[in-house]
């Protein structure tokens, strides 16, 4: 049977319709895609032009902050106390170093890096962002910089950085007054961000931590500058496009007298204690020493954990500013003020006499409050009571006055509150009263508490700065200033107006009472300690018990542990007719004030008062 050829019939109309549909679909798709492309081009070239232009510039322009140089600090005579010195340090960017511990070991063969330094560095990495540089070693010598530069290709991610660092040429001499600068930590960052100052610290690594460095941070820091650099795709600098110089911090001049400060440190000779000297004419602090001290330069480059632990755990407590934070019973140094209160309130007169058999008793009570001189002083008036520091007289005066009146009178002299000195490290001390004891201990006030306050003991505590400040007010006969360090800014001629620190004066009911008290202090000074002095002075000594002694028990220092022995205190000023320096000295556990603290005060006044005479003889 023959095969038939299969014939396919085409529907041309259907095929034409299908082609048209496919062509139309393709055209629509192309049109839509073209529209999307054009829309994106419009968005990129027109709508978002500024945004992408900025991004493009950021990719090729790098802004590098330039930290300002810190303002310098001078004493009242223009002696440089805090300067900036060039330094070199090694910095490591963690994300660019593969094996940090191994790298540190290898690097230590080129530059000495101790095991403690390596350990401290690795610990600090835990709280550090890996893309930011971290200081590995400070204070490189020029030789070490040269050695590293030769071998730098072996250590990617590690570079030598040059800059300026704070340096204190007088080391321990001024630590508690000047303070120091240190690395900005997280707490500092939070504080700066809250105060909206963070933008001023771009490129800055250090900030004032204590003392004047902290208090006058805004003056000393300055304003940062910046460099605009063109870089390639690898971050290498091609050229500098723009440079804005930083504004350096302002130089400041202090009221401190370096030579007087040096003399005070020399006289303390490492003993635990404090010296404060003030100019009563304007409240300027001439010297402020807390002993023992420490080297502030240790903190500038970052102190090791071991070194800091040694300072922190020392029984001598060198980190405490004893001048403004040490709280001591003022003892007999406040007897002139108590006498002034008694006279002005007419509780006693200049002729009132009290019998001192060596003790005093509350009426109807057997307990005896002993005088320091066991056989007593006999009949004493206010002048004799001050000259001989008769406890019995002041027991009786306190009993008749009452603690609330004492507290009220002492407030304007600065007891029980911060003086407002221009450093942050200051304690208020305690000026006790009936309400104070109720609030503090929820206990009633007893008359025996008042008797102790009458000789500057009991709950009453004060800082050496408060003692100096109160004595300055007494020497100036009521004129008051806020104690301060700042003398001038920028140069020693643009001085701060002293009236800015002046407070309303203390006015007595009878102004002649100032003379009664201060003349007794003058006689006290020239009876013994200033007997042959070429200038006139006034003084009062004090011996403060650290622990109580049982009734009728004789005090024996040799039988008591050293840190429980009496504190020695002295206040003094000169010249008597027109005072220009006031000194307060506190020696911890040194014993009698007149014997131990008195010579320190005398030598300091000699240093200040006889300086012109010594210079003229040279």
The string of pLDDT tens digits covering residues 501-515 is 899 999 999 999 999
Q: Are residues 541 and 411 in the same domain?
A: yes
Lowest-pLDDT range of 26-35, 37-46, 228-237:
228-237
How many structural domains is the chain composed of? 2
- Quote the CA–CA distance of 66 and 244 in Å, as a whole number: 9
Q: Which residues contact 172 (CB under 8 A, 6 or more apart)?
A: 265, 293, 294, 295, 296
Classify strands 273-278 and 285-291 as parallel, antiparallel or unpaired: antiparallel
Q: Which of 220, 254, 288 is the last residue of a domain?
A: 254
388 lies in the same domain as 480: yes
CA–CA separation, 162 and 149 (whole Å): 13
- Is 377 one of the annotated binding-site residues? yes
Residue 356, annotated as binding a ligand: yes
Residue 273: closest CA among 404, 124, 418, 464 = 464
Give the number of other CB atoms < 10 A from CB of residue 22.
10
Question: pLDDT-based confidence at 18, cuts 50/70/90?
Answer: confident
Same domain, 509 and 602: yes
Categorise residue 561: left if φ over 0, alpha if ψ from -120 to 50, beta otherwise: beta
Question: For residue 1, is it within any domain?
Answer: no
Cα 23–Cα 27–Cα 32 angle in degrees, nearest 5:
150
Q: What is the pLDDT of residue 547?
A: 61
At 233 the pLDDT is 56
Nearest to 344 by CA among 354, 355, 336: 336
- 353 and 216 co-located in one domain: no
Report the percent of the chain where pLDDT is more than 90: 51
Domain holding 495, by residue range, is 321-617
Q: Give phi and psi for 589, each to the nearest 5.
A: 55, 30
pLDDT at 24 over 80: yes
Q: Residue 576: what pLDDT?
A: 94
332 has catalytic annotation: yes
Element (H, E) at 379: strand 378-380
Residue 344's CB is within 10 A of a number of other CB atoms, namely 18
Tokens of 72: 């310098």
Query: Is position 562 within any domain?
Result: yes
Q: Which residues pair with 85 in a beta bridge?
A: 165
Higher per-residue confidence, 213 vs 553 = 213
| Domain contains 150 | yes
DSSP 4-19: PPP-PPP-HHHHHHHH
pLDDT at 4: 55
In a shared domain, residues 597 and 472: yes
Torsion of CA 439, 442, 445, 446, to 10 degrees: -160
Report the pLDDT value the prediction gives residue 617, as an integer from 0 to 100.
45
The Cα 294–Cα 176 span in angstroms is 9
Q: Is the pLDDT of residue 61 over 70?
A: yes
Residue after which a domain boundary falls, among 254, 272, 293 = 254
Residue 332 in contact with residue 542, Cβ under 8 Å? yes
Q: Band of the pLDDT at 198, cuts 50, 70, 90?
A: confident
Q: Which of 290, 332, 389, 452 is catalytic?
A: 332
Instruction: Mention every residue, 6+ apart, whose C-beta is less than 8 A from residue 554.
Output: none
> Taking residues 212-220, what's their average pLDDT?
94
Cα distances (angstroms) measured from residue 165 to each of 72, 180, 440 = 12, 11, 46
CATH number of domain containing 106: 3.90.1310.10
Distance of alpha carbon 143 from alpha carbon 145, whole angstroms:
5
My answer on whether 406 and 487 are in the same domain is yes
Query: Angle at the Cα of 588 (from 586 to 589), degrees rounded to 5?
Result: 135
pLDDT, position 402? 94
Residue 313 lies in a domain: no
Element (H, E) at 312: helix 305-312
Q: What is the mean pLDDT of residues 340-356?
A: 93
User: What average pLDDT does the chain have?
Assistant: 86
Residue 255, pLDDT > 80, answer yes
Question: What is the tens place of the pLDDT at every residue in 110-153?
Answer: 888 888 778 878 888 777 777 677 788 877 888 888 888 888 88
What confidence tier does 527 reach under pLDDT thresholds 50, 70, 90? confident
* 47 contacts: CB under 8 Å, gap ≥ 6: none
In a domain, 240, yes or no: yes
- What number is the average pLDDT over the span 586-601? 88
> pLDDT-derived band of residue 65, with 50, 70 and 90 as boundaries?
confident
Q: Are residues 229 and 359 both part of a single domain?
A: no
- What's the pLDDT at 83? 93
39 within domain boundaries: no
CA distance 506 to 409: 10
Q: What is the pLDDT of residues 261-273, one digit of tens each?
A: 999 999 999 999 9
CATH number of the domain residue 365 falls in: 3.40.710.10
pLDDT at 125: 79
Quote the pLDDT of residue 548.
58
Co-location of 371 and 496 in the same domain: yes
The pLDDT value given to residue 1? 46
Q: Residue 334: inside a domain, yes or no?
A: yes
Q: Would the pLDDT of 335 be above 70?
A: yes
Alpha helix stretches (DSSP H) within 434-510: 434-441, 447-453, 464-475
Q: Is residue 26 part of a domain?
A: no
Whether 541 shows a pLDDT value over 80: the answer reads yes
Q: How far apart are the C-alpha atoms of 267 and 290, rounded to whole Å?
A: 12
Question: For a pLDDT cut of 70, what percent of the chain falls above it?
Answer: 89
End-of-domain residue from the set 199, 224, 254: 254
Do 325 and 248 lie in one domain? The reply is no
pLDDT at 135: 80
496 and 369 within one domain: yes
Residues 269-323 pLDDT 10s: 999 999 999 999 999 999 999 999 999 999 988 887 888 889 899 888 999 999 9
334 in the same domain as 239: no
pLDDT range class, residue 593, cuts 50, 70, 90: confident
pLDDT tens for each residue of 405-461: 999 999 999 999 999 999 999 999 999 999 999 999 999 999 999 999 999 999 999
pLDDT of 606 over the 90 cut: yes
Taking residue 496's Cβ as centre, other Cβ atoms within 10 Å add up to 17
Tokens of 169: 């040429």
Q: Note whether 165 and 243 are same-domain residues.
A: yes
Count of Cβ atoms closer than 10 Å to residue 505 Cβ: 12
Q: In terms of pLDDT, which residue wins out, 198 or 534?
A: 534
Per-residue pLDDT band at 168 (split at 50, 70, 90): very high
């Amino acid at each position: 049977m023959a095969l038939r050829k299969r014939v396919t019939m085409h529907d041309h109309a259907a095929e034409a319709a299908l082609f048209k549909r496919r062509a139309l679909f393709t055209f629509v798709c192309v049109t839509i895609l073209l529209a999307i492309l054009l829309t994106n081009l419009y968005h990129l070239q027109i709508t978002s032009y500024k945004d992408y232009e900025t991004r493009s510039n950021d990719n090729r322009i790098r802004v590098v902050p330039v930290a300002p140089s810190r303002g310098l600090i001078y004493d009242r005579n223009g002696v440089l106390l805090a300067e900036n010195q060039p330094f070199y340090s090694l910095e490591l960017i963690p994300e660019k170093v593969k094996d940090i511990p191994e790298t540190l070991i290898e690097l230590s063969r080129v530059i000495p890096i101790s095991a403690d330094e390596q350990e401290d560095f690795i610990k600090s990495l835990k709280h550090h962002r890996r893309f930011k540089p971290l200081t590995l070693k400070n204070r490189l010598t020029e030789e070490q910089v040269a050695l590293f530069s030769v071998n730098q290709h072996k250590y990617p991610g590690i570079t030598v950085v040059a800059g300026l660092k704070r340096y204190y040429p007088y080391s321990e001499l001024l630590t508690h007054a000047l303070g120091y600068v240190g690395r900005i930590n997280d707490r500092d960052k939070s504080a700066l961000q809250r105060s909206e100052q963070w933008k001023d610290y771009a490129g800055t690594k250090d900030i004032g931590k204590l003392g004047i460095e902290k208090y006058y941070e805004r003056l000393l820091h300055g304003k940062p500058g910046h460099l605009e650099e063109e870089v390639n795709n690898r971050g290498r600098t091609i050229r500098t496009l723009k440079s804005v110089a930083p504004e350096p911090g302002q130089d400041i001049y202090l009221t401190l007298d370096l030579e007087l400060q040096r003399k005070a440190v020399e006289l303390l000779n490492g003993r635990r204690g404090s010296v404060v000297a003030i100019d009563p004419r304007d409240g300027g602090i001439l010297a402020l020493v807390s002993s023992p001290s420490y080297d502030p330069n240790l903190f500038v480059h970052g102190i090791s954990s071991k070194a800091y632990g040694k300072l922190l755990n020392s029984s001598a407590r060198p980190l405490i500013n004893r001048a403004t934070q040490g709280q001591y019973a003022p003892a007999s140094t406040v007897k002139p003020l108590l006498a002034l209160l008694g006279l002005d309130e007419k509780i006693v007169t200049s002729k009132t006499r009290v019998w001192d058999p060596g003790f005093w008793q509350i009426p109807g009570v057997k307990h005896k409050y002993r005088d320091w001189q066991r056989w007593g002083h006999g009949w004493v008036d206010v002048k004799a009571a001050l000259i001989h520091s008769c406890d019995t007289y002041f027991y009786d005066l306190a009993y008749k006055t009452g603690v609330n009146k004492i507290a009220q009178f002492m407030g304007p002299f600065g007891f029980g509150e911060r003086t407002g000195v221009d450093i942050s490290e200051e304690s208020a001390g305690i000026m006790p009263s009936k309400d104070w004891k109720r609030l503090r201990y929820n206990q009633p006030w007893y008359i025996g508490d008042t008797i102790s306050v009458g000789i500057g003991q009991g709950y009453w505590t004060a800082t050496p700065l408060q003692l100096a400040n109160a004595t300055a007010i007494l020497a100036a006969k009521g004129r008051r200033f806020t104690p301060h360090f700042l003398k001038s800014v920028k140069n020693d001629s643009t001085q701060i107006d002293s009236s800015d620190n002046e407070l309303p004066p203390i006015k007595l009911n009878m102004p002649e009472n100032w003379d009664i008290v201060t003349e007794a202090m003058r006689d006290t000074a020239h009876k013994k300690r200033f007997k042959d002095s070429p200038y006139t002075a006034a003084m009062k000594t004090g011996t403060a018990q650290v622990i109580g002694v049982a009734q009728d028990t004789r005090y024996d220092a040799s039988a008591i542990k050293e840190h429980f022995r009496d504190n020695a205190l002295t206040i003094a000023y000169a010249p008597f007719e027109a005072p220009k320096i006031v000194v307060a000295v506190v020696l911890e556990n040194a014993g009698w004030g007149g014997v131990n603290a008195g010579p320190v005060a005398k030598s300091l006044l000699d240093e200040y008062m006889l300086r012109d005479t010594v210079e003229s003889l040279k």
